Amino acid sequence: MSESFDPREFRKALGSFATGVTIITTRAPDGTPLGLTVNSFNSVSLNPPLVLWSLENAALSLPVFREATHWAVHVLASDQEELSGRFARRGGNKFAGLTLEKGLGDVPLLTGCTARFQCRNAFQYEGGDHVIFVGEVQHFDRTDAAPLVFHGGRYAHATRREPGEGKPRRAYMAGSFSEDFLGYLLGRGHFQFFGQLRALLAQEQLDDAEFYLLSTLTLKPVMTHAELNRSLQGIFDGDTIAVLDAMLRRGFVAEAPVVAEAHAPEYGLTEAGKAAALRVISAAKALESEVITRLGAADAQALKALLNRLLTAIDPASPFAGRGEEKVRTTGTGWSE
C-alpha cells in the first residue's frame, strides 16, 4: 500500500471508488442554460427523497446554482461518454445541437440518459473547498440503458456479475475439467458464432479460411503472400498458400502488375472477389448485429475490449498488443468540476 498525503495520491485513492457519471443542469436568471459533469452525486434519503452532489467553491456557475430554485441530475448512459466530456470542459455553448426538454423550474433536460432526477434546491452545506447541494427529488424517470462508469481516472464498462460467479461448478473428480475453463468458453463462443456464419459461407461455397483471406484482402489494395501469412497467423494454422491458390483459381484474387523485379508478387481482390467478399462480410455483420442486440451493446463492447486485452495477454508480441492503451484525457469527472 502506498501511503502519503500528496494531493495527487489523494485524488488517486478517491478515484478507486467507482462511480457513475452525471450531468447537472440548471438555468441562470438571464435564461442561459448551465450544465456540468459531476461524479460526486449520491443518494441520501428515501423519505423525503433527497440526493446530493458537490460543487467547487471556485466554479463560475456556483452563484447560479446557489440561487436556483431547481436543478436536474442526469445519470449518463454507456453511450454518452462524449456528452460527459463536453460538459466537463469549461466554456463554449455546451448545449449546442442537443435535443432539450423543459423541466421543473424551466431547467433544461438532456435526453438519452439512464435516469434523471428533477430537484428542488433544498439545502446547501459547507464542504471545505466544495459546497454540498442537497436536492429534494420532485420528479424522476429512468430507462434500462447500461451506465457510463468512471474509475481510476478512466471511463469503464459495468458488467453484471452473476451470483456464485467464479466458484467451481462441478466436482465429480478431483482435478477434473471445468466448464468454466477459459479455453472451453472461447472455443464454444467461436464455434457457435461461426456455426451460424458457416451456413452463409456455404451458400458462397467458401470455408472459414477462404472467408478470412478474402476479408483480409478488403483491408489493403494488395498484399504479398508473406503479408497474408502474417495477417492470418492469429487465426489460421500454417501457410495460406493453398487458400490463396484456391481463390486465384476461382478468379476472386489476381496477381497485381509487378512494380519492380525485386519485389515479391502481390495479390488483390478481383471485382468478382470484392463482390463475394462484400456479400459474406455483410452477412457476417448482420449476424454480429443480431448477437450484439441480444447481448446488449454495452456488454458487447466490454466483451470486445476484454478479448482484445486477452490477445495482448496471450501474445504480447501480437500486432494488436498495446493498442489503444494511452491514458484517457482528464475530463474533470475525476473531481466534481
Site for its own copies in 261-280 (CB under 8 A): 274, 277-278
Q: Which stretch binds its own copies (CB under 8 A): 24-32, 64-72, 169-177, 250-258?
A: 169-177
Under the binding rule (CB under 8 A), the answer on residue 42 touching its own copies is yes
Closest contact distance (angstroms) between CB of 48 and its own copies is 5
Under the binding rule (CB under 8 A), the answer on residue 156 touching its own copies is yes
Number of neighbours of residue 303 by Cβ within 10 angstroms: 16
DSSP annotation of 21 reads -
Under the binding rule (CB under 8 A), the answer on residue 66 touching its own copies is no
Residue placing its CB nearer to its own copies in the complex, 28 or 127: 127
Residues 154 and 163: beta-carbon distance below 8 Å: no
Under the binding rule (CB under 8 A), the answer on residue 286 touching its own copies is no
Residue placing its CB nearer to its own copies in the complex, 32 or 272: 272
Q: Which stretch binds its own copies (CB under 8 A): 61-69, 86-94, 141-149, 241-249?
A: 141-149
d(CA 103, CA 118): 7
Residue placing its CB nearer to its own copies in the complex, 152 or 251: 152
What x-and-dash track marks residues 14-33 binding its own copies by CB under 8 A?
A: x-xxxxx-x-----------
Considering only 59, 98, 104, 134, the residue that binds its own copies (CB under 8 A) is 134
Residues 297-326 that bind its own copies (CB under 8 A): 299-311, 313-315, 318, 320, 323-326
Q: In this structure, what is the dihedral angle of CA atoms 299, 77, 152, 86, given to the nearest 10 degrees?
A: 130
User: Which uninterrupted H or E stretch holds 309?
Assistant: helix 297-314
d(CA 119, CA 71): 5
CA distances to 127, 137, 148, 160, 161 from 302, in Å: 36, 33, 12, 11, 13
The residue type at 249: R
State the pairing for strand pair 33-38/22-27: antiparallel
Residues 194-213 that bind its own copies (CB under 8 A): 194, 196-197, 208, 212
